[in-house]
């Protein structure tokens, strides 16, 4: 039994357009607990969060059955807006959660809604901004802030209202590795200073594990799979969670792999790096799986000293036939701009790009995009027909071959569906597949695994690995870089500050810090292991 039940839900069921999002959820959350809400994409985590805040069902035409109570009182008994002061929420998308132009106005907006006397507002705004470290940006216009700063502002808006519960709906999804960790640290610090109940929905779990005391797991049908401590959740059910497509903390993931290979001795899967190291066999090999070596180094794309619209400065790089390239860097470093320049979508102001030996400007657009593909961040942007089959068949000479491609990406059953009607993961797979039909020599992808659950991300990477041509992808995920890339390019403030193998990047501490990157988990573990060895030896 919990010390004090703050939120309790009984037999919750939410349906939207005759589709059940989740069913029969019964759980309770105690005061000042830190809860991690897990589930594969489409399992209704966000919907559940919005129901707890009573934003749903009013905001959509959904039907909510069962009951939720807050401190013993049914949610329906609260006046409009009253509950929002007690339960604050930070959303995933840093762009669309603001309605004012400047930082202070945005924080004030919430205070105004709750009739806080004007004399107190200033103080509350200052305090909230100070908590998240934005005190010097009070008068800044919101759209000039970086993604990380925007998420901190969203948090400040919630903190200013001094809520008892804070819900975070994938708050780090759009952030670079260092900004993500900073946000988690900020939250941990504030929680120490002023306790509140925390409910987090998140894919990237590593930073959160130490803060969390309870896990709630939903399965793909939206039923409650598990409720308990993280140690239990990941220690005993890891392989099950993995099957459901739920992301695991990297420590757990590594231990699971090691255990299957018979190299982990621990009873239970660990949560902390130190526990993992203690349980690992000494025979465990930390080095990277050897990637396919490039036999012939034939360049297909050569970039010579390009500049673009004040964003990029003197970029030189070469992509070779069949090479897997990663482009990394902090939020706003110019990754997307560079990738668009390489595809000829943004003109360069200086310098030259040669693709297959011909300057990009000399290519006819139609011919160019038969040889060079680009997958945008939002798959919906690339759909141009009314059915999934037509999407693939578009521009194909042998339309019949579209079916075999659909089979390959597992969408043959949806051939006649409208592309917009697919699930997030299916849309992503389709958008990648549309770029594979011409056997392009080079495929550029802007964050291909963004917002996907573990299974979909894995499938996409498999499709890309099988592909014959070169691949260049923008990503914040250092694990992907470590596992898949032959070469990695690092951008910082529009300048290319590093080109080389991932292994040599991890060795270069200065570059890693400057570009706000993090070492991949394998490397972190290896470093720690070496440190211990030295410690034991001395």
Partner 1 sequence: MSLHEVNPSIKAFAVVISILILSLFFDPITPLLTIIWAVSITFIFGRISFKKWILLFAPFLFIAIIYVWSTMLFPRLHAGDSVIWKWGFLTLTAEGFQRGVSLGLRVLSFATLSIMFTLTTKPTDFLLSLMQQCKLPPKLAYGIMAGYRFLPLIKEEFQTLQNAHRVRGVARARTIPEKVKQIKRYVIPLLAGAIRKAERTALAMESKGFTGDKNRIFYREITVSRIDWLFFTLMIGAVLLSTFISWKLGYLQFYNGEL
Residue numbers of the site for partner 1 (CB under 8 A)? 50, 53, 55, 59, 80-81, 84-85, 88-89, 91, 93, 95-102, 104-105, 108-118, 121, 125, 143, 157-158, 161, 340, 343, 345, 365-366, 369-370, 373-374, 376, 378, 380-384, 394-395, 420, 434-435
- Closer Cβ to partner 1, 165 or 252, answer by number: 165
Least distance to partner 1, CB of residue 82, Å: 8
- Closer Cβ to partner 1, 69 or 377, answer by number: 377
- Closer Cβ to partner 1, 11 or 143, answer by number: 143
How many whole angstroms separate alpha carbon 241 and alpha carbon 520? 22
Least distance to partner 1, CB of residue 122, Å: 8
93, 174 contact by CB (below 8 A): yes
Nearest to 531 by CA among 214, 274, 155: 274
Least distance to partner 1, CB of residue 259, Å: 41
166, 90 contact by CB (below 8 A): yes
Nearest to 276 by CA among 258, 255, 262: 255
What's the residue count for the chain? 538
50, 22 contact by CB (below 8 A): no
- Closer Cβ to partner 1, 73 or 378, answer by number: 378
Least distance to partner 1, CB of residue 38, Å: 22
- Closer Cβ to partner 1, 280 or 437, answer by number: 437
How many whole angstroms separate alpha carbon 50 and alpha carbon 46? 6
- Closer Cβ to partner 1, 161 or 461, answer by number: 161
User: What distance lies between CA 427 and its chain's CA centroid?
Assistant: 16
How many whole angstroms separate alpha carbon 66 and alpha carbon 11? 5
Least distance to partner 1, CB of residue 12, Å: 19
Least distance to partner 1, CB of residue 272, Å: 34
Least distance to partner 1, CB of residue 153, Å: 12
- Closer Cβ to partner 1, 116 or 403, answer by number: 116
Q: Which long-range contacts (CB under 8 A, 24 or more apart) does 401-410 make?
A: 402/437, 405/433, 405/436, 405/437, 406/433, 408/433, 408/463, 409/433, 409/459, 409/463, 410/459
Query: Which single residue is written with the structure tokens 């005759």?
Result: 18
Question: How many helices (H) and strands (E) would you count in the chain?
Answer: 19, 20
Least distance to partner 1, CB of residue 183, Å: 17
Token reading at 415? 């051939």
- Closer Cβ to partner 1, 112 or 533, answer by number: 112
Token reading at 413? 């059953």
């Amino acid at each position: 039994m919990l010390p004090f039940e703050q939120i309790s839900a009984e037999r919750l069921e939410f349906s939207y357009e005759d589709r059940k999002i989740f069913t029969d959820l019964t759980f309770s959350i105690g005061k000042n607990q830190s809860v991690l809400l897990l589930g594969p994409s489409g399992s209704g985590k966000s919907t559940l969060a919005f129901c707890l805040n009573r934003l749903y069902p009013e905001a959509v035409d959904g039907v909510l059955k069962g009951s939720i109570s807050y401190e013993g009182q049914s949610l329906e008994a609260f006046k409009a807006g009253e509950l929002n002061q007690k339960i604050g929420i930070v959303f995933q998308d840093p762009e669309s959660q603001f309605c004012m132009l400047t930082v202070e106005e945005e924080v004030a907006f919430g205070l105004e809604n709750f009739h806080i006397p004007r004399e107190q507002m200033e103080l509350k705004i200052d305090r909230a901004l100070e908590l998240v470290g934005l005190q010097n940006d009070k008068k800044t216009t919101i759209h000039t802030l970086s993604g990380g700063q925007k998420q901190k502002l969203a948090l400040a808006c919630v903190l200013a209202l001094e809520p008892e519960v804070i819900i975070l709906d994938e708050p780090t999804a759009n952030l670079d590795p260092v900004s993500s960790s900073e946000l988690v640290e900020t939250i941990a610090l504030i929680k120490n200073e002023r306790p509140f109940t925390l409910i987090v929905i998140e894919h990237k779990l590593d930073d959160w594990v130490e803060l969390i005391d309870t896990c709630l797991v939903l399965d793909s049908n939206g039923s409650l799979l598990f409720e308990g401590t993280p140690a239990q959740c990941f220690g005993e059910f890891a392989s099950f969670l993995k099957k459901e497509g739920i992301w695991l903390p990297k420590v757990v993931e590594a231990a699971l792999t090691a255990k299957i290979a018979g190299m982990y001795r621990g009873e239970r899967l660990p949560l902390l790096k130190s526990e993992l190291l203690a349980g690992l066999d000494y025979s465990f090999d930390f080095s990277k799986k050897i990637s396919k070596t490039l036999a012939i180094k034939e360049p297909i794309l050569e970039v010579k000293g390009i500049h673009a619209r004040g964003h990029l400065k003197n970029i030189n790089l070469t992509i070779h036939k069949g090479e897997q390239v990663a482009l990394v860097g902090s939020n706003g470093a110019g990754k997307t701009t560079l990738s668009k320049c390489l595809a000829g979508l943004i003109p360069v102001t200086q310098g030259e790009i040669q693709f297959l030996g011909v300057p990009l400007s000399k290519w006819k657009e139609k011919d160019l995009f038969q040889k060079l593909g680009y997958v945008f961040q939002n798959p919906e942007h690339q759909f141009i027909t009314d059915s999934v089959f037509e999407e693939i068949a578009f521009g194909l000479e042998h339309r019949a071959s579209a079916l075999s491609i659909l089979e390959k990406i597992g969408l043959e059953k949806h051939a006649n569906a409208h592309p917009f009607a697919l699930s997030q993961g299916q849309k992503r797979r389709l958008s990648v597949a549309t770029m594979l039909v011409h056997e392009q020599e080079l495929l550029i992808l802007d964050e291909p695994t963004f917002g996907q659950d573990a299974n979909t991300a894995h499938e996409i990477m498999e499709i890309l690995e099988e592909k014959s041509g070169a691949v260049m992808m923008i990503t914040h995920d250092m694990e992907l870089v470590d596992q898949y890339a032959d070469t990695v390019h690092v951008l910082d403030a529009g300048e290319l500050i590093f080109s080389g193998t991932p292994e040599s990047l991890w060795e270069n501490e200065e570059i890693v810090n400057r570009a706000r990157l993090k070492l991949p988990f394998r490397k972190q573990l290896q470093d720690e292991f070496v440190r211990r060895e030295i410690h034991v030896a001395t």
